[in-house]
Chain A
């Protein structure tokens, strides 16, 4: 038995063991679950170490990028959180990471997630699609904003025509969101069925060779 066939058999037995949970929780399922956790941890540890070695340790050792000693020290400082007296030191690299992550994300976010998304909703209404985009965006925003006006109109019953329009728009916005949630649920079902089909294709195709 070559290594590929052995791998296929191990994967097939593991898959069946995991699916055995659908019938009943059992020892085989738990064993495979623990093996998966162990393997994943080991694999990530090795890959993580290799990554740190390639990016930081090796350049420092060879003298090509001596400044990489700074992130290495910051990384090591993270482990001070295990000390009662010096755990505060770990806040320095954490705050550094948060700052860098925020800065990196914000620079791209302003254009990608804000400006161009806003621009994409300001479109001439040419067909049903663009109408849905414009009406859906405005009414969904109405649901989250202008709550005071809507609340006033409901509680006092004297909000006037503006409050009535906003309340109606907000109600439509609620429906738009419900439809979006339905689409998310539907695509979630599609995804889960896709995962299952993938395993069935593996079991009956790659393993048993019953389907092409």
Chain B
């Protein structure tokens, strides 16, 4: 059997099985809490009750699998600590997820809309939108996602500038965290944490290492670690065994494919040598 000539669909089918089995039968593989996640947890722990936390929620269907469980874990922690929450978005789908946070987490925990939590609408403009909200928060959002004027929302009246925000959380698969590092953390020194999809590690890692990010949640693993810290198992933790088995399968494929590749290369070199003679 030559693995290099095998129909790729077999590998897809095996990957499905490798991921499905641990989801049905969790194996309880050990999970280490990494420093960037612990730092994010410690920052939330250190904020006094009633602090205002701004979550830049750029969760969309394309990054839901990784960012949504991260955001849920942190919002649950904020709610447990009694922090007040403002949700903003620079992607069109973001407010739908923010609305779910209000309905599914905040209000069942006794949060009052307008006083303890506010959902703000999508704003186009990417980094310029972040600059605008950092410089003139109330001017950028005249009304909330539901059309209620900001003047009627007590929580909005308390935020004059970024200095009134105790912590910023950015949940993204793109550059959102970098915009907040440049426009909010750099200018106002507001403590910023980011939850990113796993592929963003090398993009955001340097900012975590330099201290510009006070915490970093990386992919489902980051969510699983945070869920472990707050003792509230969710989809992140449930996915970890499947993640580990999926990675093991990928590593195995890389090693085996390379063995076959070099073997084929050696054989073709040997055949070419014979032909030349």
CB-defined interface of B72-95 with A at 8 Å, one 1/0 digit per residue?
000000000000000000001100
CB distance from B120 to the nearest CB of A (A): 11
Contact flags (1/0) for A49-71 with B, using CB distance below 8 Å? 01110110001000000000000
Flag if B65 contacts A199 (CB, 8 Å). Answer: yes
Question: Does B181 count as interface, using CB distance less than 8 angstroms?
Answer: yes
- B110-118, B240-248, B256-264 - the one binding chain A: B240-248
Of the residues B20, B65, B206, B246, contact of A117 by C-beta under 8 Å? B206
A109 to B238, CA, bound (A): 39
A141 at the interface (CB under 8 A from B): no
- If A44-B92, A194-B197, A194-B243 touch, does A101 touch B128 (CB 8 Å cutoff)? yes
Contact in complex: B185, A112 (CB < 8 Å): yes
* Inter-subunit contact B182/A108 (CB<8 Å): yes
Q: Closest CB of chain B to A171's CB: distance in Å?
A: 21
B2 adjacent to chain A (CB < 8 Å): no
**Cα–Cα, bound, A28→B207 (Å):** 43
Q: How far is the CA of A113 from the CA of B177 in the complex (A)?
A: 12
**A190 surroundings in chain B (CB, below 8 A):** 198-199, 219, 221, 243, 247
Interface residue tally of chain A, by bracket?
35 or more
Name B170-204 residues within 8 Å CB distance of A. 178, 181-183, 185-187, 197-202
Interface of B is mostly: helix
B196-220 interface code vs A (CB 8 A; 1 in, 0 out):
0111111000110111100000111
Q: Which of A13-65 contact B (CB under 8 A)?
A: 22-23, 43-44, 47-48, 50-52, 54-55, 59
Establish whether residues A47 and B24, one from each chain, have CB atoms under 8 Å apart when the complex forms. no
Bound CA span A29–B15, Å = 21
* CB contact between B19 and one of A44, A112, A196 (< 8 Å): that residue: A196
Closest to B183 in A: A108
**Chain A residues near B209 (CB, 8 Å)?**
120, 133
Q: Which residues of A contact B243 (CB under 8 A)?
A: 190, 193-194, 197
Chain A residues 104 to 123 lying within 8 A of chain B, measured CB to CB, are: 104-105, 107-109, 111-113, 116-117, 119-120
Looking at the assembled complex, report how far the CB atom of A64 sits from the nearest CB atom of chain B, in whole angstroms: 8
> Could you say which of B9, B182, B201, B221 contacts A109, with CB atoms under 8 Å apart?
B182
A184 CB → nearest B CB, Å: 5
Residue pair A23, B9 in contact (C-beta under 8 Å): yes
Q: CB-CB < 8 A to B66: which residues of A?
A: 191, 194-195, 198
Pair B9/A22 contact, Cβ less than 8 Å: yes
Residues of B at under 8 Å CB distance from A? 9, 12, 15-16, 19-20, 23-24, 64-66, 92-93, 121-124, 127-128, 131, 142-143, 178, 181-183, 185-187, 197-202, 206-207, 209-212, 218-221, 235, 238-239, 242-243, 246-247, 250
**A-B interface, 7 closest residue pairs, ranked by CB to CB distance from nearest:** A198-B65, A108-B182, A120-B210, A190-B198, A47-B92, A191-B198, A191-B199
